[in-house]
Amino acid sequence: SRNECLPAYHVEIMDLGFMTGAYKIDKNNNKREIVLPAYHQYHFKLQSRRKMRKLNCQRRSGSSSDSAITLDNVFEEDNYDIENENFESNDDFNEIVFNFVCLTLENEQLAYISNGKRIMEIIHRYYNNDEKQTQTKFGFIIDPEENATQIYLEKTLNSILNSRAKRFWQGSCNSLKCLIREYGIPNEMRAQMWLTFIQAKIANNYNIAHLLALAAETASTSSSTEPTIKQIDMDVHRTMPQHTMFADHSQGISKLRQVLIAYSVHVNPVIGYCQAMNFIAALLLIVFDGNENYALMGLICVIDHYFPPQYFDQQLTGARADQLLLKDLITTRLTYEAKKVNASMLDEIMTSVTLNWFLSLFHNALPWQ
């Protein structure tokens, strides 16, 4: 029997960075359902016919023991075909299965896969192994409904990441910037490297411990009707609640609250608190393993030193400017896609999808790896 959840995976590099999308496939009617944000589906539809059919997997030649199938050996050659009468000969569906195969099976010999049945067996094995997993490596609690998809995502991304990390350490480029842009920072190094970058940017210009102490005082003394505090209090419970660190009554929530109050009341009261900062602060807390000192430093660094000054102001001036720029880029660079939607639809897509990316630093649009 076909698994109840048959996700497919799609990875693509475009102007905006590293894009991913995943689908859940209904076993009864092959209906696809998007798992990641809607933009990906939109993007997938537009891109799939043009690009995905060309994708091909090839076993890595030269590597001895494991024949890892990663993005490395996904070539643009149109000679691989999944012959399978069990699937409806529906182009989209085949493409999805195809991508799934390309990207999932790090340790499987793709060369042996000649039909869909074999693929299904492997997929089953993949899921059944980890049925009891309750949270992801990055701490997100898994919704049982999405369990298989989550495990799948985690595994796929890990496999991609492992190969990236491997190359990172082998160092095929010589500058750090080049390494990071090319391969990303390996997970185990992320906290340390972020901290180094943050310290390089803001040096010792802030007395972090003092700011946090002030925040703790503000948090306990100021009236809960003070608008900023009130807003923060409301929002800390709506910030990644699916993460163990920010589950109900957890310590993470009070740390998050303290960091946000420190920034918006004591560091930069002109900008104050704007929704989306909560996600950035939470992301930093997760990366820094709950260290509120580092998280506050990171937040100051990102909001005051990385973003332009008006980015999070009362009109979201900077964020809106970015949307206009991006819109410009989309219409000039992605002419094929831009023609598919009319101007007002493009605006809708931009505000409902991309604004979120820019304000909260892609926290829910890109994989955690």
Partner 1 sequence: MSYAYLFKYIIIGDTGVGKSCLLLQFTDKRFQPVHDLTIGVEFGARMITIDGKQIKLQIWDTAGQEAFRSITRSYYRGAAGALLVYDITRRDTFNHLTTWLEDARQHSNSNMVIMLIGNKSDLESRREVKKEEGEAFAREHGLIFMETSAKTAANVEEAFINTAKEIYEKIQEGVFDINNEANGIKIGPQHSPTNTSLPLSGSGSSQGGGCC
The residues that touch partner 1, with contacts defined as CB under 8 A, are 38, 231, 234-235, 237-242, 248, 274-276, 278-279, 312-316, 320, 340-345, 347-348, 351-352, 355-356, 359-360, 364
Closest separation in Å from C-beta 234 to partner 1: 5
Closest separation in Å from C-beta 267 to partner 1: 18
Can you give 111-166 as a three-state secondary structure string?
A: HHCCEHHHHHHHHHHHHHHCCCCCECCCCEECCHHHHHHHHHHHHHHHHHHHHHHH
**Neighbour-count burial of 262, counting CB atoms closer than 10 A to its CB (0-12 exposed, 13-18 middle, 19+ buried):** buried
How do beta strands 8-14 and 17-25 pair? antiparallel
Closest separation in Å from C-beta 224 to partner 1: 12
Q: Which is nearer to partner 1, 164 or 243 (CB)?
A: 243
Taking the C-alpha atoms of residue 256 and residue 156, their distance in angstroms, rounded to an integer, is: 30
Q: Which is nearer to partner 1, 218 or 278 (CB)?
A: 278
Q: Which is nearer to partner 1, 64 or 344 (CB)?
A: 344
Taking the C-alpha atoms of residue 191 and residue 2, their distance in angstroms, rounded to an integer, is: 41
Closest separation in Å from C-beta 317 to partner 1: 9
The answer to whether 290 touches 250, Cβ cutoff 8 Å, is no
Q: Which is nearer to partner 1, 293 or 351 (CB)?
A: 351
Taking the C-alpha atoms of residue 272 and residue 312, their distance in angstroms, rounded to an integer, is: 9
Q: Which is nearer to partner 1, 149 or 356 (CB)?
A: 356
Closest separation in Å from C-beta 192 to partner 1: 28
Closest separation in Å from C-beta 287 to partner 1: 18
Taking the C-alpha atoms of residue 56 and residue 43, their distance in angstroms, rounded to an integer, is: 20
**Neighbour-count burial of 200, counting CB atoms closer than 10 A to its CB (0-12 exposed, 13-18 middle, 19+ buried):** exposed
Sole residue written with tokens 């799934």: 100
Q: What is the DSSP code string of 237-257? A: GGSSTTBGGGSTT-HHHHHHH
Q: Which is nearer to partner 1, 177 or 249 (CB)?
A: 249
